[in-house]
Structure 1
Amino acid sequence: MIRRIASLCLALAVAALIATPALAKEKIKIVYVEWACATASANVMKAVIEENLGLDVELTPVSAPAMYAALAAGDQDALTTSWLPVTHGDMIKRYKGKIEDLGPNFEGAKIGLIVPTYVTIDTIAEMNAHAKEFDGEIIGIDPGAGVMIKAEDAIDHYNLSDIELVSSSGAGMTASLANRYRQKKWIAVTGWVPHWKFAKFDLKFLKDPDKVFGESETINTFVRNGLKADHPKVYHVLDTFSWTAAEIGEVMAMNTVDGSDVYDNAKKWTAEHPDRVKSWLP
Structure 2
Amino acid sequence: MAPVPGIEAPDPQPLRGRTVLVTGGAQGIGRGIAQAALGAGASVAIGDLDGDAGAACLRDWNVGERATFHRLDVGREAPVRGFVRAALRAHGRIDGLVNNAGIADPATGPLQRLELAKWRSYLDAHLSGTFLCSKHALAALAAHGAGSIVNIASTRAHQSEPDTEAYAAAKGGLLAFTHALAISAGPAVRVNCISPGWIATDAWRKPTARRTPKLRPRDHAQHPAGRVGTPEDVAALAVYLLSPAAAFVTGQEFVVDGGMTRKMQYV
Quick check: TM above 0.5? no
The TM-score, its normalising length taken from structure 2, stands at 0.31
Rg comparison, structure with higher value: 1
